[in-house]
Amino acid sequence: DIVMTQSPDSLAVSLGERATINCKSSQSVLYNSNNKNYLAWYQQQPGQPPKLLFHWASTRESGVPDRFSGSGSGTDFTLTISNLQAEDVAVYYCQQYYTTPFTFGPGTRVDIK
């Protein structure tokens, strides 16, 4: 199985500042045949189901504010939230869908400092 790790476990950021979340996969999730990274990011706000933010590591879903950005390739990925807003308080998960089981990272909790 591909093991997904995330760092940090949690972070507190002041309103308007930047939050950076790292995700690492135990093996590459880049398909050479199409040059796509099979990596998604989700946001789970308290009491809510997860919401897809990015697929293919960096393709933002419709309606996701552009202060969110996804980057990385192969085994190392980053979710950046610029200009943090109060509504961004949530747990953020990365997930690989390169191969089953489609494993999730353990999540990173983002709070307001």
Instruction: Indicate whether 106 belongs to the interface with another protein (CB under 8 A).
Output: yes
Using CB under 8 A, pick the residue from 55, 74, 85, 112 that binds another protein: 55
Which residue spans within the chain are E strands per DSSP?
4-7, 10-13, 19-25, 30-31, 36-37, 39-44, 51-55, 59-60, 68-73, 76-81, 90-96, 108-112
Angle in degrees, CA 108, 82, 64, rounded to 5: 80
Size of the site for another protein (CB under 8 A): 23
Using CB under 8 A, pick the residue from 17, 52, 83, 112 that binds another protein: 52
Instruction: Indicate whether 68 belongs to the interface with another protein (CB under 8 A).
Output: no
Under the rule (CB under 8 A), what is the footprint of another protein? 38, 40, 42, 44, 49-52, 55, 61, 93, 95, 97-107
